[in-house]
Chains A and B, each alone.
Chain A
Amino acid sequence: MTQVLLNGVLLGATYALLAVGYTLVFGVMRLLTLAHGQIFMAAGVVSLVITGPGTPFWVAGVCAVAIGAGLSVLTDLLCFRPVGYHRPIPAAVATIGFGLVIHNVIVQLYGSNAVGAPFEVPRADFTVNGVLVSVVQLVSLLITAVVMVATHLFVNRTKWGVAMRAFSEDPEAVAVLGVPTRWLSALTLGIAGALAGLASFLVILRVTSVSPSSGLEIGLIGLAIMTIGGLGSLPGAMAAGIALGVLESVADYRGFGFQAAVPWLLLVVVLLVRPRGLLGARTS
């Protein structure tokens, strides 16, 4: 069972990283970016396509983060700004369209087959008391933890982070105070997209390929995690991601046969028991 729990934590860490992006955007802008899953996928696919054989694997990571950030900023420019930050439903619908465009452009350019990593990922697994541990997974977990803590500190302890939080409370007042709100929204989406790109790269390190069809599935899971954790709560997204990974792993191990339904079952249970999510703030 220790192995199952470890597998779950490692899986959940990736989920959490993705969900933090959703949560950041919703927490700051009160908007849903439903193209996030496709940005995750596109960052992975394009980073593998543009890095050829012989390239150090970390180059793909840098590319994935940059592509994720760039596409996410485009979400702001093409969906949120034209529709308006104060119109959450049309803005969310526009991001669905943008996600479809991303998916179909990737499929038309690179096909629907999985894209394999052109570089060698150093593998060094070891066993501790019968539990198989992968160094790649451990490093991924460490990176995830550092990035999540850094994101949390950035939002809560820096000038830009304070501006982000103020923007979520009263965007007009922030604008009146002279804060460049357009830059603020671009920064928020850029960070969220960079996290999606990083999550995609960490998955690639683990499985050495990425499928163009993976965006929708993982995007929906990220959305569920954000809701389970509490809308706009970064610690909630982190906790929910890990919890979901562990539950999925246990369901898989027990052979329940409904692993794919676990996020949605958990979502229903959480919403029934605690409608504001695990760590969500009470709203009036």
Chain B
Amino acid sequence: MARRSALRRTYPLTILCAALALAASGCSGDDPSGSEVGPTSAGTEGEPISIGLVTDLSGRFVSFGKDIEAATNLAVERINADGGVNGSMLELVVEDTGGEPEQAVTAVRDLAEDGVFAISGPLSSGEAETVYAQAAQVMVPIMSGTANKDGITELGEGWTFLNQATNTALYTEALPAWMEEYGVSTAALVYDAEEPVSAGAAMGAIPAVAADVGLEIVNADSPITFTRGQTDFATTVQVIGETDADGLIIMSAPTEAGLIAAELARQGETRPIIGHPSQGSQSFFEGGGQEITDWMLPLIFDRDSTEPEVQEFVSAMNEVIAAPPLVAESANYYDSIFMLAEVMRDADINGSTPVEEARETIRAGLLDLSDFPGVTGTISFAGNAEATKTIHLVVVQNGEPTPL
């Protein structure tokens, strides 16, 4: 009897603890489906148009995901404030993936069943690779503004798009500029072997583009690797210091890149570096601080542009995000919603349009879209599922990014 009462005392607390864990990890939401509905119609007569957003609102990249959600909400609010699309307001349905590809697939399927006309997301190339492979089955246009692995749109059989420059596009422009700026003809390759975006770029696009532009990678046969979550880079940087190259190519997530920058400075390393666009975020600058010098980044958004639309976007975002500077890629998601709105306006789609017809028309319309003026610059698909984007090259000196 005593044992039974002890069990009665303890199990509820264990269950409570587990429930708290699940709740905090984002498995539960405000409604039973786990979706959140964002800005919606206000005082309109037409049926709303549902747009899905699939992003990371929990897990390792939650700060990215929250900025992306804020930018998407901002775009929807502005479009609705201007009267919506052909008399229909936009309604945003947000799904959290937690950074897990399987959860992203479930989210996309849920949104498809809910009747969304198009989906923006997911965040990472790893998630996109899994989701895009399912896109032809659910037959919803899906457009990521962050994934940039080469060739992944082919998995979607015409239903998937990238509103982001691929690694090949980025480095075809960035590597020659870096070589010219710093007189680099040889480079050592360093990358995070456990991080899919970095490893994908380091093993795929970088060697191929380097060969095309005449950059010799001195350690192509045995690049220097480290692992995600590593906090001590003393020995890694020691190995880097022993390479005989003019410059360094460092492919890693922002946190590790910041720590490497600090350690490079500590060990007196002064060679120029070219990094990955994901390094243009707070974690990189927090980790590296003023020690980041001669570090070039190819970015798809110039936060410091004097264009009024860009300044207005940055100003509006800084009011709603938790920790400026905003994630550059959030601008892609802002543009994505405006692109979808333009395609729907041109095709006379509104909330009453049958879902299948709307999806097919949006898909065709996106493929035809060209010279769209976004806050990230001019965007064109022009028959290709991978957008042609304006690439902004910046050099970080003493922790401050400045345009090249």
Bound together? yes
Interfacial residues, chain A to chain B (CB-CB below 8 A): 3-4, 7-8, 10-11, 14, 78-79, 82-84, 87, 90, 93-94, 96-98, 100-101, 103-105, 107-108, 110-116, 123, 125, 132, 134, 203, 206-209, 211, 213-214, 216-218, 249, 252-253, 255, 257, 259-260
B234 and A10 contacting across the interface, CB-CB below 8 Å: yes
Besides A7-B235, A111-B322, A207-B262, 19 new A-B residue pairs in contact (Cβ under 8 A), listed by A number: A83-B10, A83-B13, A84-B6, A90-B10, A96-B21, A100-B24, A112-B63, A113-B323, A114-B254, A114-B283, A132-B266, A208-B289, A211-B229, A213-B60, A216-B229, A217-B228, A255-B222, A255-B225, A260-B229
Residues of chain A contacted by B254 (CB below 8 angstroms): 113-114
Most buried by A among B9, B224, B259: B259
- In the complex, chain B residues whose CB is within 8 Å of the CB of A112: 59-64
Q: How far is the CB of A256 from chain B (nearest CB, A)?
A: 9
In the assembled complex, the Cα of A90 lies from the Cα of B17 at a distance in Å of 12
Q: Which residues of A contact B14 (CB under 8 A)?
A: 82-83, 90, 93-94, 97
A208 engages B262 (CB within 8 Å)? yes
Given A209-B259, A257-B193, A259-B226: A115 and B286 interface contact (C-beta under 8 Å): yes
User: Do B239 and A252 have beta carbons less than 8 Å apart?
Assistant: yes
Residues of B within 8 A of A252 (CB): 226, 235-236, 239
Residues in chain A near residue B225, CB distance under 8 A = 255, 257
Among A3, A97, A98, A260, max chain B CB count under 10 A is at A97
A172: shortest Cβ distance to chain B, in Å? 15
Instruction: Name the contact of A260 in the complex, choosing from B63, B227, B236, B281 (C-beta under 8 A).
Output: B227
Taking CB atoms and an 8 Å cut-off, the chain B residues in 10-27 that contact chain A are 10, 13-14, 17-18, 20-21, 24-26
- In the bound complex, what is the Cα–Cα distance between A255 and B190 (angstroms)? 11
How close is A208's CB to chain B, nearest CB, in angstroms?
6
Measured CB to CB, the nearest residue on chain A to B238 is A3
- Chain B, range 236-262, C-beta contacts under 8 Å to A: 236, 238-239, 254-255, 258-259, 262
B315 within 8 A of A: no
Q: Is the CB of B286 within 8 A of A11?
A: no
Most buried by A among B10, B60, B229, B232: B232
Bound-complex Cα distance A208 to B291 (A): 11
The answer to whether A79 touches B24 (Cβ under 8 A) is: no
Interface on B for A, CB 8 Å cutoff?
A: 6, 9-10, 13-14, 17-18, 20-21, 24-26, 58-64, 66, 193-194, 222, 224-232, 234-236, 238-239, 254-255, 258-259, 262-263, 266-267, 281-283, 285-287, 289, 322-323
A270 to chain B, nearest CB (A): 21
A259 CA to B283 CA in the complex, in Å?
Answer: 23
A260 → chain B, closest Cβ, in Å? 4
Kindly provide the distance from the CB of B99 to the nearest chain A CB, expressed in whole angstroms: 9
A-B pairs, top 6 by smallest CB distance, nearest first, are A116-B286, A104-B24, A217-B229, A82-B13, A111-B63, A100-B21
Chain A interface SS verdict (over half): helix
Residues of B within 8 A of A107 (CB): 58-59, 62
Give min CB distance, A215 to chain B, whole Å: 10
Cross-chain pair count, CB within 8 angstroms:
150
Closest beta carbon of chain B to A55's beta carbon, Å? 17
A113 touches B283 (CB 8 A): yes
A114→B258 contact, CB < 8 A: yes
CB distance from A251 to the nearest CB of B (A): 9
Would you call the interface of chain B mostly helix, strand, loop, or mixed?
helix
Q: How far is the CB of A192 from chain B (nearest CB, A)?
A: 19
Could you write out 10 A-B pairs with CB less than 8 Å apart?
Answer: A82-B10, A93-B14, A96-B21, A100-B21, A107-B58, A107-B59, A111-B322, A112-B61, A217-B228, A252-B239
Q: B224 near A97 (CB under 8 angstroms)?
A: no
Q: B283 to chain A: which residues have CB within 8 Å?
A: 113-114, 209, 211
Contact: A97 with B227, CB < 8 Å? Answer: no
Q: For the complex, give the distance between the alpha carbons of A252 and B224 in Å.
A: 9
In the complex, the answer to whether A253 meets B239 with C-beta atoms within 8 Å is yes
Residues of B near A123 (CB, < 8 A) are: 266
Which partner residue on chain B sits nearest A108 by CB separation?
B24
Cα of A112 to Cα of B286 in the assembled complex, Å: 12
- How far apart are the CA atoms of A115 and B286 in the complex, in Å? 6
**Given B58, B62, B231, B238, which contacts A7 in the complex, CB threshold below 8 Å?**
B238
A105–B26 CA distance with the chains assembled, in angstroms: 11
What is the distance, in angstroms, from A35's C-beta to the closest C-beta of chain B?
A: 10
Across the interface, do B235 and A206 meet the contact criterion of CB distance under 8 Å? Answer: no
Q: Which residues of chain B have C-beta atoms less than 8 A from A8's C-beta? A: 235
Question: A78 and B17 in contact (CB under 8 A), knowing A83-B10, A111-B62, A252-B235?
Answer: yes
Distance to closest chain B CB from A205 (angstroms): 12
Q: Which residues of A contact B227 (CB under 8 A)?
A: 259-260
In the complex with contacts A116-B289, A209-B259, A209-B286, A111-B66 CB distance below 8 A: yes
**Which residues of chain A are within 8 angstroms of B194 by Cβ–Cβ distance?**
260
In Å, the complex CA distance between A260 and B193 comes to: 10
Known contacts: A114-B255, A207-B287. The answer to whether A101 contacts B21 by CB under 8 A is: yes
Indicate if the CB atoms of A134 and B266 lie closer than 8 Å.
Answer: yes
B232 close to A206 (CB less than 8 A): yes
How far is B63's CA from A114's CA once the two chains are assembled, in angstroms? Answer: 10
Q: Which residues of B contact A78 (CB under 8 A)?
A: 13, 17
Q: Which residue of B lies closest to A3 (CB)?
A: B238
Q: Are B287 and A114 in contact (CB under 8 A)?
A: yes
- B24: chain A residues at CB < 8 Å are 100-101, 103-105, 108
